[in-house]
Structures are given as C-alpha cells and as structure tokens.
Structure 1
Amino acid sequence: AITIPNNQIRITQPGNYLLRVYDERDPDNTLVQARFGAADFSATVQATVSSRTDIDSNKSHQQLDISLDTRHVNVEDPFNDIKVVITQNGRHDNETIIAVPQRILGKDIVYEHMRQLIFPAGNEYRRFDISSVNYPGTGVERMIHDASIYNAVLHTDGPRSNESYLYDQTQHGRFLVRSTDTEHPDTEADYVLTHFTLDMPPIAGYDIFIDGDITSRTFGPSSRMIYNHASGCYEQSLLLKQGAYNYQYLAVPADRTEGETAPIEGDKHQTINEYTIKVYHRPKGTRFDRLIGVTSVTSGI
C-alpha cells in the first residue's frame, strides 16, 4: 500500500496506517510512531447530531444520524461489507463501531435510531496556558523557578457534575505548543513540570485519569490521578512543553476500559462536541478495510 520512489513515501491504497521510526541498527526498538488514515472519499458521508435522543431529551446525551451515499462505490453487501467508526473528541475509549446499518435506500445506507449512535454529552474541556515561564497564565496558580526545572502549579480543580453548564470555546482536548519567551517556539519551547490537583473524595470502584491529547488519550500510570489521603485530593504531575492545553477528568470503572464523564465533569446536553465519522469498505475476497469516507460534525452548531 506504500511505495517509496526516490526516497519519497507515496500511499497507493486508502486505509489505516502506522508510521514507525526506528534505528536501523536496532529495528525492534521503536523511537517514534504515529497512526493515521488516508481516504479516497468515494463515499459521501452526511451526519447530524442532536440532544433530543431516543433515551432522553435535552438532558445528558447526544445522538447522531448518519447516511452514506455509495453510488460511486461498488458495495455488493451493505450489511456485511461496510463498517462505520465514530469517535467523540478524538477519544479512543468510547469509540463506536457499527457493522450493520439500520436500513438501505437504494445507494444510500442509513444509520439512525440505534443505541450505538448515542453518546454521553460530557462537558466543555478544562484549559490552562503555560506559554510563559515568567508569569502564571490561564488556569495556573503559580510558577516555581527554584528547582532544576520549571514547575507550574495549576489551580485546584473540583467536580462539575452538579454545576450548571457554562460554555467555553475549547479545542476538544487538543493542545498547541507555543512560547512567549522565544521567537522560535517550535524548537526552543521549554519543558514545564505541571501539577494537577482534583479536590474531591475518593470514588470507590473507579480510577481517575487525565484525558486529552495531553496524555495521548491513554489510561496508564502517567495519566492516572493518585489520591493523597493527607491532602484529600487526587494529584498527578506531567512534564509538558510550553503551550496551551485542553484536558478533562475521566472516571474509569475497575472492570472496564471506557471512561465516564458523569462522575466528575458531568453530562450537559449543551456541550459542544466534535464527532468524527469514518467509513470502511471491505469487499469480499480482499484483505484490508478501505477508508472510503470521512466527515466531522459538531454538536450545537
């Protein structure tokens, strides 16, 4: 699926890819890797999102309706050859995969009134800015310079599940590396040890994680909040490049791998969420899924 003429990479097939960088002297040791997809957009994807869902109305969920126009794709068996993958704000833990459509209308494949299309609404992401090491930015209580590395102590967070919805134009969990202390932030932005504190009692049966691109959307030791019985708070520290960051707290039940927004952030139907819909086609007799359509839809807009 990839050719390399004249030392240039050229993708020849639509689908998912993993780019891995390693030292040729030690090929088993991965230095950097990144996942990405390439689509041919042979299928047109249309989607809408509403807070009036099949399980509640203007309360704590959002529901999508999706239709695919496949007139330019030879789909012999829509009930077995097409797969739709939906992500909310780039999260992997609550990603939905739909293998069977709700109905077929000629060349249009329709997905609606299906439980897999309903997502907890969540809340707007929290934010902080450590673009400067000389003064505290948004969300930062204080900067500490009397150490071997810069330290940023963020304002103490609290649960928002019982608070009213408050709009904030966030970037759905993304971050931007930048520095006001140099003219070349791409190469000269410094590292800052950033300290998170969540003031709430321990939640029995749950682990608490920092979610967002800030932690690569993974639940692991570095993103897990540790409860400090002396302070009565959850705490964690991350070494981050200077920049502006979005994040949220997810509560993950001990026996599951999907995070919940309700216990800490709350689920507010007004929340602005970004949904990405990817459509894969695997004709009979082929060995991989072709990415034939991609679109994004944002709630409340």
Structure 2
Amino acid sequence: MSLSIRILFAVILIPLFNFSQEAELNPPDHIKTIIFKGSNTQESQLPVLRLGEYISLEFDALNGEEDNYYYKIEHYNFDWTPSPLARAEFMVGFDNQRIRNYENSFNTFQIYSHYKLTIPNDRTRSLKVSGNYMIKVFNDYDELVFSRKFMVYENGASVGVNIKRSRNVKFIESKQSVDIVVNATGIRFNNPLQNVKTVIIQNNNLNTAITDLKPQYTIGNELIYKYTNESSFWAGNEYLFFENKDIRAANTGIQSIELKDLYHNYLFTNTVRANKPYTYNPDINGNFLITAIDADNPDIEADYAWIHFSLLAPKMTDGKSIYVYGNFNNYALEDSNKMTYDNASGAYFTELLLKQGFYSYKYVVVDKDNNIDEGAIGGNFYQTENNYKVLVYYRELGARYDKLIGIGEASSVDISN
C-alpha cells in the first residue's frame, strides 16, 4: 500500500473512531430559569420518561428582544457518544423548528420573554426509540445557546433498587450503597457482561453518576449487583432551601429585603454543618419550583431578584474554592456561582439572579484539579434522604444503538443495614 493511500485511509477512519462524550452546554447570562421536566413532576428535574410520554422545556430570555430560538434533538449511546442513527430512525416528524410559544413578562421589574416547548408536538410528532437524547437550542445565527440531556425508556426489564448503609465499615456512617436486581421481561440477555450497561444517579445530578457497573451474579435472566464500594455514594446532608414567593416580604430562609433596580433578597448566613449532628429536614433534593403569591400565571408574573448567599466558613487554602449550586444552574461550577471570601466578616459571599420560587441548594468545595467535595461544608450522614435512579441499557446482537430497557427508583428514607 502506498504512503498516499495509507494517509487517505487514516483520514477516513479518524471521524469514525474519534467520537467523544458530549457534555451539556450551559446558557449565557441572559438566559435564565431553564425548566426541563417530564409529564410526571411539577418541579424541574432530570427528565426520564417512558416512550410515548411528553417532555416540557421552558426558559426565560432577559434581553427583552423577543429573539427567535430553534431546537434540534440528537440521539446518543449509553456513554453519551453520538449514535449512528439518522433522524428518521429515531424521530417521527422534524426538528430544527422555531419555538413558537412565548409570552412576555407582565407587571415585573425585570422584563423577560418566557419560552415554552412541548415534545411531542405537531412538527416533532414522536420519538421512536429508547435511549439517551439531548435537546439543543439555537439562535437565529445557528449558534448553540444551551443544551440539556434527557432519557427515554421502554419496558424491557424490571429494576429493583435497595439502598443500604455502606458495607465498608470505614464509611458506614457517611456513605449509602445501591443494590440492584435486573429482571428481563420482554427480552433474553445475550452476553450481559458486555451488552448490559447501568447508570446510577443521585438526586438527578449526572455529574456524580456511577456508570457501567457489571453484574456480579447472573441467575437465568436475572442480574444482581451487590458491590461493597463501587456502587456507593457519599450520603451528603439535606439540601438548604429558601422561598421568595412574596418578593416584597421575608419568607422562609430570607433575612431581609431591599429594593434597588430589582429586589435584593438576603438569605440568613449559613454555617458549616460537617461537624454538627445530623438533623432531618424535608427537601426536594436539589430541585426548584417557580411560584409567586397573588399570581395567576407565575411563568410570566413571577419576578426576578438578586439572591445574596453567605456562608460562615474558614478561608480555603491550597487553591480550593466554594461554590453554591443545585438544579437551578444544572449543578454547574462557573464564575457566577463561585463564592468570594471577605476577610472582615470571615464569610463567603455571592449573589445570583433567580426567579421567584422555592429553591434547594448546597455548598461544595472544589480543588484546583476541579475535584468536587460535596460533604466538606454540609457533611456526610448515612441518614440523609436522597433519591436514586438506576437506568439499565442493553444493546442486542447486531444492533446499532443502546436501548434503555428499564428504570428503577428508590429513596434512602427506607435505608437498611
């Protein structure tokens, strides 16, 4: 084979084998309050829906220009590399359509346009196959504005999930372990060690998900996962929360109110809880819900306020930083939610522009290598109530994509030894 032919062959092969995992893109500053949910929930959270159910995407554009936005839908493999399926193979209808449903804010200090998209719709009529998907939102210049992941499953297996205290005695007070039993109902597993993939998600946070555990035991068509360390999560602590549905008066978690160009809500100063006893406090595990008092339609009548967070904590060293995050910013680590230390008060501060509602949040420590320690501020307690989802994927012999054949869900409120 000549050198020129070998070079041409290599150039042809590079696009075929150089796929990498695709991450979500978070929006620019003028896009706020991205609410992405399935048909079975009120608050925003990671959508995992049955084939045939609908999803809803909502967001606000704060530039007051009534811009046009368009959406595209992509299908992905289990590991979030692009699948080879053409659109006609996973979709009935068309995407790359303008989001036509939008309204302007009413009686608010902060003007904004509220956009809403529901799928299926008259143009994107249905999704045909299960698996991983990503919806991408573009502007008039075909520039990607933001993207969000979601999953569609079919009923091919039942997934039993049990939450246990860690089997490792070293972490019995601070970790929770997830046991899984998968029973195929409509298929027969072929080579499950290679073809069955699992994803375990804690509190809808894909950043901390555990992926691709292999079954330890197989009994017929039943797969059993009972790991000591590999399927365990740091338990964390209950999320902190605040509510400002009445933007003109102090609500839950809010110490004081001030009106400038917009309302400013100052939260009570939080403290480090890592060395304090665990206290149960019901929460919504990092999610948020838009709500406003005396508003017929909070989508366009809820206002925006600057929320001032403060944390009394020692100054971080060795390049470590503190961030405040939750589903309200898709668990992102960005300059906007990075906290600044004030030497005079001995506390960390930051402020975020958020729409009225109920929000749960937590403080996390990030080192110079971007490793996240979610328990450094809040602590890790096995009693903490966390939500767990287990997704099971299967690729049949000769298939070109990974099916999502089952989902199991459990709460650690029922944790056992």
**Cα pair distance change 1:119/1:196, threshold 3 Å:** same
Identify which of 356, 376, 401 aligns with 1:288.
Answer: 401
Q: Matched residue of 2:300: which SS?
A: helix
Higher deviation after alignment, 178-187 or 40-49:
178-187
Q: Does the alignment pair 1:95 with 2:209?
A: yes
What is the alpha-carbon root mean square deviation over aligned residues? 1.7
1:299 corresponds to: 412
| Secondary structure, aligned partner of 1:280 | strand
Which one-letter code corresponds to 1:66 in the other structure?
Answer: I
Q: 2:272 aligns with which of 137, 159, 173?
A: 159
Bigger relative contact order (CA 8 A; separation at least 6):
1
Deviation at residue 180 of structure 1 after TM alignment: 0.7
Question: Mean Cα displacement is larger for which, 290-299 or 5-14?
Answer: 5-14
Query: CA offset at residue 52 of structure 1?
Result: 4.6
TM-score (normalised: structure 2): 0.68
Matched residue, 1:45? 159
1:144 alignment partner, one of 258, 263, 284: 258
Q: Secondary structure of the equivalent of 2:155?
A: coil
**In the alignment, what sits opposite 1:173?**
286
Kindly state the Cα deviation for residue 288 of structure 1 after the two structures are TM-superposed: 2.4
Which SS does the other structure have where 2:194 is aligned?
A: helix
1:75-98 CA-to-partner distances (Å, cap 9, x unmatched) read 211100011101111122221013
Q: Tell me if structure 2 keeps the 8 A contact 1:80–1:99.
A: no
Q: Would you say the 8 A contact 2:167–2:228 is kept in 1?
A: no
Contact 1:190 1:241 in 2 (8 A): yes
Tell me the distance in 2 between the aligned counterparts of 1:226 and 1:136.
25
Q: Would you say how many aligned residue pairs link Structure 1 and Structure 2?
A: 297
Q: Which residue of 1 aligns with 2:342?
A: 228
Residue identity matched to 1:43 = A
* Contact 2:304/2:354 (8 A) holds in 1: yes
Given that 2:166 and 2:228 are in contact with CA atoms closer than 8 Å, whether structure 1 keeps it comes out as no
Match of 1:21 in 2: 137
Q: 1:161 deviation in Å?
A: 0.5
Deviations 1:201-233 (A, max 9, x none): 122232212121122111121222222233321
1:101-134 alpha-carbon deviations (Å, 9 max, x no partner)? 1111110011102422111111011010111111
- How far 1:183 moved relative to its partner? 2.4
1:281–1:291: 8 Å Cα contact kept in structure 2?
A: yes
Q: Cα deviations across residues 121-150 of structure 1 (Å, max 9, x unaligned)?
A: 1101101011111111011010101x1011
Measured in 1, the distance between the counterparts of 2:188 and 2:146 equals 37
Q: CA deviation at 1:34?
A: 2.7
Provide, for residues 154-183 of structure 1, a one-character-per-residue CA deviation record: whole Å limited to 9, x for no partner: 001110001111111100011110101422
TM-score, structure 1 length as denominator? 0.93
How far apart in 2 are the matches of 1:22 and 1:269? 42
Q: State the one-letter code of the partner of 1:65.
A: D
- Between structure 1 and structure 2, the one with the greater Rg is 2
- Which amino acid letter does the alignment assign opposite residue 218 of structure 1? A
The percentage of counterpart residues that share the same residue type is 29
Which one has a larger percent helix, Structure 1 or Structure 2?
A: 2
Q: Secondary structure at the match of 1:264?
A: helix
1:60: how far off?
0.9
